[in-house]
Chain A
């Protein structure tokens, strides 16, 4: 036993998979100790905020400012001229001002602005434009003029009579110390409901692992029990069990999974229920493989000898057969856990996963991201880390399985 464990941990594949899985598991356990906030607290008022640190604008404006002469990456002009605005300017220059297309370089902000200033006049009534478009261009001209001034931002307050009164001017050389203002870092941004993706991801991984483990345990338990009975007893019992197993194998288990999930209803479908549903639909192949292993074992001499020593069927199954297939069962369970996690993700993607607002699962995170078109509007942080994590869990479990297989089947060792 001790020797076997030693051998298992000498297998590079197993060790690599084990380390990845342990890192994920430890993160799931340790992270909530440090971050105690509710993983599903809606912090952001809006969809899909980019990953990064968010600082309070009000506090920044009001707190003590320091003058620093350092080159800035932020350009007011660049901020005004986004891609759509540049396209608008280009269109105006070609259609209304008659500038040749070759002269315009939309990537050069300064050049574009100088062309704009040379050709646009607020008082000219350009032909071929709607009134709304003319007003929009006027606003754009004002914005560009404002952006080119050095005067910074003026903060004004209303006095008693309702007139605006200048209270502070923020120059472009003004800085605040980040420690003076309230900040919040979203390492992986926020999701469609304004929830911190990282915290949610850790909580979701925990739920998904629970579902996978529950599904794996149930599937292995049912599969093992039926496989042992069918394989050892043979005859009629074997025929009946293998008939049921074949029925389940022929009907795609995912269809059964969908039907059961749908029929239990939204209110009953929690984490545990989904785990159970996945478990009771994925046992057939464990049964089949355990059965074939048991059939090859049941005529071995040591089993015959045990029979002749007067041992009961259950004693023979548990002491003379089970230990011989234990390593195989462990491997089968690892695969069942992995496929349980994947099955949950699939179910949730089509909206039949856990119906819950209290916990997230990896599948639910994918579903939310998909429903709010994260994949269309470029919010990669809402689904990509989830995909990576599902792949990592599955990869590590399969790697452990392959490693174990090599230890227990010396023929496969390279």
Chain B
């Protein structure tokens, strides 16, 4: 499992092209004396087709960074470049255009859905967003069926159901089906497996990888689990208190960590057959 089997074939053949870059990106919450610096002058270049993991503890600023990249919250300082050009989301139309290229999967599948609408509504939204609103109904159903079968769900069984009638794993798979329909350039996966049991977790990760290969998507994978990051990613960014303390290819960072924080994160990964030394873990 812990081999770097997921290297994109493209990466070796051509020069990596930055898809999303940040320069001096900062987010400060609050004003005056009660300021919290959530993200502190971070620089990065996420290349096209790569899987990038951002690893850190709770409160290290991972989710804030992801929301800035998604354009859900404003940045305090710094610039974000999308495909080599400064990102412009000043108007609603430009935002809509940007969001065609970047989509999220959130941590909690249970709160990702509007419980008052049937599942069909979520998938229809995706088709509308891609401009398929006026397509014949049969064609739409075919596309939705295809997306559902990609994540091993049966569209015919889901069509009349409400989100809360599904299990957490099914909901999260449906979120992947949503991404399959939208085909964005960048997927922002914010701890997509942390609320899901271990069996569904592997399935979902495999589906994400399959999806990456299918539509050559950049996946920004946010997690607190460094083991998972190693398993899935090409590049790893280690985040502590709003700063990147270490970055590089997954192999380099995890096999040969430089920062103390990274070493600690790696030592905290529990291993089966090994008794936990809680004193060490706590310190």
Enumerate chain A interface residues (CB-CB to B < 8 A): 300-302, 304-312, 319-320, 323-324
Partner of B104, one of A308, A310, A319, A324: A308
List B residues 109-160 near A (Cβ within 8 Å). Answer: 111-114, 116-117, 125-126, 128-129
Contact B117 A309 (CB under 8 A): no
Enumerate B91-114 residues with CB–CB distance to A below 8 Å. Answer: 92, 96, 99-100, 103-104, 106-108, 111-114
Other contacts beyond A302-B114, A305-B104: 5, CB < 8 A = A301-B112, A302-B113, A308-B103, A309-B126, A311-B125
- Asked if residues B116 and A323 are in contact (CB atoms below 8 Å), the reply is yes
Question: Contacts A301-B106, A301-B108: A308 and B114 contacting too (C-beta < 8 A)?
Answer: no
CB contact under 8 A between A310 and B99, given known A301-B106, A304-B104, A305-B104:
yes
Given contacts A304-B72, A307-B72, A309-B126, contact A319 B117 (CB under 8 A): yes
Within 8 A of A (CB), among B58-107: 70, 72, 92, 96, 99-100, 103-104, 106-107
Bound-state CA distance A309–B125 (Å) is 7
Which residues of the partner chain A approach B104 to less than 8 Å between Cβ atoms?
A: 304-305, 308
Nearest-CB residue, chain B, relative to A310: B96
Residue in A301, A306, A308, A323 whose Cβ sees the most chain B Cβ within 10 Å? A308
Q: Compute how far the CA of A10 lies from the CA of B129 in the bound complex, rounded to whole angstroms.
A: 43
* Residues in A neighbouring B112, C-beta threshold 8 A: 301-302, 305
Given A304-B72, A308-B70, A308-B103 in contact, is the A320-B114 Cβ separation under 8 Å? yes
Residue of B nearest to A304 (CB): B72
Complex interface: chain B residues within 8 A of A307 (CB): 72, 99
Residue pair A305, B99 in contact (C-beta under 8 Å): no
Which residues of B are found within 8 Å of A320, using beta-carbon distances?
A: 114
- Complex CA distance for A309 and B104, rounded to whole angstroms: 10
Do A301 and B111 touch across chains, with their CB atoms under 8 A apart? yes
Q: List 17 A-B contacts (CB under 8 A).
A: A300-B111, A302-B114, A304-B106, A305-B104, A305-B106, A306-B114, A307-B99, A308-B72, A308-B103, A309-B99, A310-B96, A310-B128, A311-B125, A312-B92, A319-B117, A320-B114, A323-B116
For A304, list chain B residues within 8 Å (CB): 70, 72, 104, 106
Query: What are the residues of chain A within 8 A of B107 when measuring CB–CB?
Result: 301
Complex interface: chain B residues within 8 A of A300 (CB): 111
**Pair A309/B72 contact, Cβ less than 8 Å:** no
Q: Please name the residue on chain A nearest to B97 by beta carbon.
A: A310
Residues of B near A301 (CB, < 8 A) are: 106-108, 111-112
Whole-angstrom CA separation of A302 from B108 in the bound complex: 10
Q: Once bound together, how far apart are the Cα atoms of A183 and B72, in whole Å?
A: 78
B99 close to A319 (CB less than 8 A): no
How far does the alpha carbon of A308 sit from the alpha carbon of B92 in the complex, in Å? 11
Chain B residues near A (Cβ < 8 Å): 70, 72, 92, 96, 99-100, 103-104, 106-108, 111-114, 116-117, 125-126, 128-129
Residues on A with C-beta less than 8 A from B125 are 306, 309, 311
In Å, the complex CA distance between A390 and B112 comes to 46
Partner of B129, one of A310, A319, A324: A310
Q: Kindly state the separation between the CA atoms of A311 and B113 in the bound complex, as whole angstroms.
A: 14
Task: State the CA gap A164–B99 with chains docked (Å).
Answer: 108
Residues of A within 8 A of B96 (CB): 310
- For residue A299, give the distance in angstroms from its CB to the closest CB of chain B: 9
What is the bound-complex CA distance between A310 and B126, given in angstroms? 9
- Taken together as a complex, chains A and B put the C-alpha atoms of A324 and B115 apart, in Å, by 9
Q: How far is the CA of A307 from the CA of B72 in the complex (A)?
A: 8
Closest 3 CB pairs of A and B: A301-B106, A323-B116, A309-B125
Nearest residue (CB) in A for B113 is A302
Nearest CB in chain A: distance from B80 CB, A: 16
Residue from A302, A304, A312, A323 with most neighbouring chain B CB atoms (10 Å): A302
Task: Please report the C-alpha to C-alpha distance between residue A304 and residue B125 in the assembled complex, in whole angstroms.
Answer: 14
CB pair A302 B126 closer than 8 Å: no
Q: Shortest CB–CB separation between residue B190 and chain A, in angstroms?
A: 9
User: Smallest CB-CB separation from A300: which chain B residue?
Assistant: B111
Measured in the bound complex, the distance between the Cα atoms of B96 and A319 in whole Å is 18
Query: From residue B263, how far is it (CB to closest CB) to chain A in Å?
Result: 33
CB-based contact B72/A319 at 8 Å: no
Q: How far is B141's CA from A33's CA once the two chains are assembled, in angstroms?
A: 57
A302 to B129, CA, bound (A): 16
Q: How far is the CA of A403 from the CA of B117 in the complex (A)?
A: 26
CB-CB < 8 A to B99: which residues of A? 307-310
CB pair A309 B114 closer than 8 Å: no
Q: What separation, in Å, do the CA atoms of A304 and B128 have in the docked complex? A: 17
Contact residue among B70, B108, B111, B129 (Cβ-Cβ distance under 8 Å from A309): B129
Bound CA–CA A323/B99 (angstroms): 25
Question: A311 CA to B114 CA in the complex, in Å?
Answer: 13
In the complex the two chains form, what is the Cα distance from A320 to B113 in whole Å?
A: 9
Shortest distance in angstroms between A163's beta carbon and chain B's nearest beta carbon? 92
> Judging by beta carbons under 8 Å apart, are B126 and A319 in contact?
no
Which of A300, A305, A323 is packed against the most chain B CB atoms within 10 Å? Answer: A305
Asked if residues A302 and B72 are in contact (CB atoms below 8 Å), the reply is no
B100 to chain A, nearest CB (A): 8
A282 to B125 Cα, complex, angstroms: 39
Chain A residues positioned under 8 Å from B117 (CB to CB)? 319
A residues near B111, Cβ cutoff 8 Å: 300-302
List the A residue with the shortest CB-CB distance to B107: A301
Closest A residue to B70 by beta carbon equals A308
Q: Given the complex, which residues of A lie within 8 Å of B92, measured CB to CB? A: 312
A324 to B96, CA, bound (A): 25
Q: How far is the CB of B78 from chain A (nearest CB, A)?
A: 21
Distance, CA A313 to CA B103, complexed state (A): 18
Residue of B nearest to A306 (CB): B114
Nearest-neighbour CB distance to chain A for B38, whole angstroms, equals 14
Q: Which residue of A lies closest to B73 (CB)?
A: A299
